[in-house]
A and B are shown apart, each in its own frame.
Chain A
Amino acid sequence: MTNLLVIDDLFSLISKARNTKYVEVRYQSRTTNEVNFSNGELERIRSIENSGCGIRVLVDGCWGFSSTNLLSKDGLNDSLYEAISVAKLLAGMKKNKVKGLASSKLAKGLFKTNIRGDLSSIDIENKVRITKEAEEQARKYSPVIKFASCVYREMLDHKLIVNSDGAEVEIYDSKPEFNVTTVARKENESVTTSEGIGITGGWQDLFSEKDHIDYANLASEKATKLLEAKHVTGERTTIILDPGMVGLISHEAIGHMVEADFVLSGSIVKDKIGTKVASNLITMVDSGQPDIGSNAAGTLIVDDEGVIARRSVIIQDGILKSFLHNRETALMFDAQPTGNARAFEYDDDLLIRMRNTFIEPGYDKLDDMIKETKHGYLIKGARNGQADANGEFMFGSQEVYLVERGELKELLRGTSVSGSAFDVLQSVDMVGKDFKFDIGTGYCGKFQPAKVDGGGPHIRCNAIIGGLQ
């Protein structure tokens, strides 16, 4: 694909802004390709190009943002002036003006994601073939599988970020995902499960551990077994969470609460920096470039303000250490920008978003966690979740195993797990030595999507498992 703009176009636009404290121009050109087969039929095939510029200005202590897909000189100039004029309008009404932006060494240069197997060099025919084959295999697995669907999706980004504080960045990013969903049904019972992977990387990275047929078999095997499984009775008890569930709790229940914009509106952690919020076995991190695991889906080299998306330790040995910041909140909290300012597409505004959020591994073995549990459950397969302002969270799982007297017993239907986030983290008494990122097929929603990941080891805690009373 030809580049619609070069970095000099952005510089020349910025030089035209008058009476602004800060100007930022982000060009993003995204190609999304997607193939989806459902029950033997092509459900969807599409290729989307979405390109344009998002312009953000700070005028009289107010932000103005405008976006356009018209990339001619006139189109860009109009958009810049629109951003300035809406910022000025707000200046008359806004109570708390933006004081400024924390200084930070802003990135310069070309950044490319590490990939094995350039996605654009893999023919579309191949992508159609594996999606079709996996969907067929999922249904072939067992006669109780009544429905299967398989999606391959890739997002290829080319970004240019230039701002009046010195950022000068060109980025190439590549995020593919592959997911198989199946429904097993018998009489009035049905079970939906999915297996998949979402990463930052290339074609070989995507299928390095399992191939497309493996995912199909795994999804169908799980659904087939769960169809025979009983429901869980609701109770508060010992719970062992798998890495995906740990990733989900880190992201949903803690991560959102430490986003500085959320802290400013009264999150329960606002006065808790330096205090003990979790068991001292817990160290939780949000990082753009994790030094653990590989190809995490939320990998981000430089954020959309031009700040290096470094590792931020949220909780160290049970003590709350840091919130997640953009440059504006970093100044307000007298902290360093953490590289969490992200926009999904060119026309999205920058928000404080997580990247890869995880709990660091400890010293225990999963086997020992089970052996040392008299009664409890092993919860597997993160579904989705939500957390509330007061720390109450709820998230779904695909599989539940009963643990009795130190042994793994029968498989039960997936259900929700809930509790108060910090109570659950305080209750953690065992942290596994294993590690995995496992929520990379999902998207985080906060007015706009974001590709994030999360993970950790297995951990043992105390929480409420839902179910029919």
Chain B
Amino acid sequence: MEDICSFVLKEAEKRGADYCEAYGASNKESEVFIENNDLKQSKSHKTDGLGIRVFVNGSLGFSSTNILEKEHIGDAVTKAIKLARVSPSDKFNSMPYSRTVKLLNGIYDKKSESFTASDTVKLAADMLDAAKSYDKRVSVDSGNFTSSVMTHALLNSNGIRTKETISAFSWSIMGMAIEGSEVSNFDFQFGGTHNVKDIDVYSTSREFSKSVIDSLGSKKIESFKGEMLLTPSAVTELIQDVLAYSINSQTVQKEASKFEGQLGKSVSSDLLTLIDDATDINGLGASSFDREGVPHQRNIIIEKGILKKFLYNTYTANKGDTKSTGNAGGSPKTPPMVSTTNVIIKAGKTRADNLISEIDKGIIINRFSGNVNPVNGDFSGVVKGGQYIEKGNIEYAVKELMVAGNVFDALNDLTGISKEQKVLSDSILPYMRFDNVSFTAG
């Protein structure tokens, strides 16, 4: 892949590009699907991708191809240059210069080399068995187990030349519980790791099964205002996306972020510390360098409620007169954007059990199905896998309950963060409790 990227740089220079960046990724993946309580299908993929970014007179052009033959690559280079020639010039377009990238340990497991397609089949079967053996009312609609090895390389005309290989294993399970004519809420759980020894499909299955069984026998309840406890999965759906959107320099610079102009100020309860960290090898978002070849680093974004920084790539950093935070993201099919890597909400001091027992009247939300507006933070939707709590006790599962409010207001009404954290692919999140939440009966 490095040779192909080198070839791109040479061709781009020949064909008139002032600057060029070549990002290549090769992926080998094996996946088994579960459907309708049975193994469904085995898949195996080999894919390559090459992304070519050029600047001509300060204008951006980008093309991508997955056919890595010289003629196609040459055509793709020409196409990128053609696009640059019809694009407006932008003084903030630049590519980073070479810096030492310290390659991360722990994201490539040598054991992945001997991990076979039959291991993948066996783990998928184990995951299904674990879910079904928990309770026979559990019905698994779908799921998967995937193992992959990815090598990516980045070269640019400013001397960056870097490459690494990452192994990843991930799995998911979704479905419901069925008892007579009653069908429970849908639940979805997943897990992932870079290392063979940390593969744990059993816990994921059990958590899924418990959640769907617990949501059987659900009752309607009256509208009320009270506390809400979000599970880590619900935190991803309700809170994480709004935060990720608001701390992104692209949205800040477009004046579309609620956090614009708030650096150094309080944006939430002091219980919240938000970190973006691609060097945390527990998350599947871990890698050594970003989509422009800039070394990854740990970025504390919100510290005890105070907004400390935004996430930047080279372009937005030029524009904001600051340095890239190593958050250029994207695949070879897209020019570098700004993205989060591993999103981490720091664990609190209270156990999740205690967060529940302190609630006078409230709802545990396992999943949220609805709309969250990342710009203004308004959310409204249906509580899924919800459980009603009164005087510290879980009373029963609820149905047809709507929840509405505003994420930014809620962050100021944060009343607790759990000690426990869960790794959900590229998020590492605790349970979070909020007060003053409106629940509307359906």
Contact = CB atoms under 8 A, between A and B. Distances in A.
A341 to B, nearest CB: 13
Contact of B141 (A265, A419, A469): A265
B41 A63 contact: yes
A71 B67 contact: yes
Given A51-B66, A388-B384, A466-B440, A265 B44 contact: no
A96 B255 contact: no
Nearest to A65: B43
B334 A390 contact: no
A338 interface: no
Interface in B81-122: 82-83, 86-88, 90, 117-118, 121-122
Contacts of B66: 49-52, 69
A189 B376 contact: yes
Interface stretch (A39-47, A243-251, A373-381, A436-444): A39-47
Contacts of B149: none
B42 A466 contact: no
Nearest to A395: B371
A386 interface: yes
Nearest to B400: A392
B72 interface: yes
A386 B383 CA distance: 12
A110 interface: no
B371 A396 contact: yes
A464 B442 contact: yes
B400 A469 contact: no
A229 interface: no
Interface in A413-461: 415-416, 418-420, 447
A86 B43 contact: yes
A49 B61 CA distance: 15
B364 interface: no
B63 interface: yes
Given A67-B45, A268-B183, A90 B64 contact: no
B369 A394 contact: yes
Nearest to A413: B378
B311 to A, nearest CB: 17
Contact of A390 (B43, B64, B184, B373): B184
Contacts, number: 234
Interface in B333-388: 333-335, 337, 369-371, 373, 375-376, 380-382, 384
A70 B45 CA distance: 11
A65 B36 contact: no
Contacts of B333: 46, 48, 50
A95 B124 CA distance: 13
B72 A49 contact: yes
Given A65-B42, A261-B36, A86 B183 contact: no
B367 to A, nearest CB: 9
A193 B68 CA distance: 41
A44 B334 contact: yes
A390 B183 contact: yes
Interface residues of A, number: 78
A95 B38 contact: yes
Contact of A466 (B38, B62, B80, B381): B381
A464 B375 contact: no
B121 A388 contact: no
Interface string B3-40: 00000000000000000000000000010110111111
A293 interface: no
A1 to B, nearest CB: 9
Interface residues of B, number: 80
B327 interface: no
Nearest to B79: A47
A85 interface: yes
Nearest to B53: A46
A66 interface: yes
Interface of B is mostly: strand
A51 B83 contact: no
A264 interface: yes
Contact of A464 (B32, B36, B48, B402): B402
A70 B46 contact: yes
A197 interface: no
B130 interface: no
B42 A87 contact: yes
Interface string B393-422: 000000110101100000000000000000
A122 interface: no
**Which of A67, A189, A394 has the most chain B CB atoms closer than 10 A to its own CB?**
A394
Q: Which of A65, A83, A93, A191 has the most CB of B within 10 A?
A: A93
A394 B35 contact: no
Nearest to A469: B438
A86 B46 contact: no
Given A46-B334, A47-B62, A464-B402, A82 B44 contact: yes
Nearest to A86: B42
Contacts of B184: 389-390
B256 interface: yes
Given A46-B63, A469-B223, A234 B186 contact: no
Contacts of A50: 64, 66, 333
Nearest to A467: B404
Contacts of A71: 67
B44 A65 contact: yes
Contacts of A191: 376
B192 interface: no
Contacts of A469: 223, 225, 404, 438-440
A261 to B, nearest CB: 6
B76 interface: yes
B44 A389 contact: no
5 contacts: A42-B90, A47-B76, A68-B45, A124-B86, A265-B142
Interface of B: 30, 32-33, 35-48, 60-68, 72, 76, 79-80, 82-83, 86-88, 90, 117-118, 121-122, 125, 139-142, 175-176, 178, 183-186, 223, 225, 254-256, 333-335, 337, 369-371, 373, 375-376, 380-382, 384, 399-400, 402, 404-405, 438-440, 442
Q: When A and B form their complex, which 7 residue pairs have the shortest distance between CB atoms, in order from nearest?
A: A86-B42, A396-B371, A469-B438, A63-B41, A265-B141, A234-B440, A265-B36
Given A67-B43, A68-B47, 16 more contacts: A4-B67, A38-B254, A45-B60, A69-B66, A89-B117, A124-B83, A236-B442, A262-B141, A265-B142, A388-B382, A389-B186, A392-B185, A392-B400, A418-B381, A418-B402, A466-B404
